[in-house]
Amino acid sequence: MNKKRRAITKEIIIDGGVCKGCHICIDQCPEDVFEVSKTRSTKGYLMPVVSRIDDCIACMLCELICPDLAITVETTKDEK
């Protein structure tokens, strides 16, 4: 039986130097992986923060919709 291997999220990186705090990633994430941080970036924006990495399904939507290209999702393949 040939089962599909699913991607497992290893890390979600948010580049605080380019993120403008639009929070589209927070709004659009189907698994509510992000939340608003209590700290501000050097530009004064309330940044998104990854709060539930284990819930991430590696759909890459956050990386695709980020208007500033500030999000990178790094994945590995499940070896099962």
d(CA 74, CA 60): 9
Higher pLDDT, 46 or 3: 46
Please report, for the chain, the start and end positions of each structural domain, with discontinuous segments joined by +: 16-77
Give the chain's mean pLDDT: 89
Cβ atoms of 4 and 80 within 8 Å: the answer is no
pLDDT for 8-36, tens place per residue? 778 999 999 999 999 999 999 999 999 99
What's the pTM? 0.82
pLDDT of residue 37: 94
CATH of domain 16-77: 3.30.70.20
- Confidence band for 79, pLDDT divided at 50, 70 and 90: low
The Cβ of residue 47 has, within 10 Å, a number of other Cβ atoms equal to 20
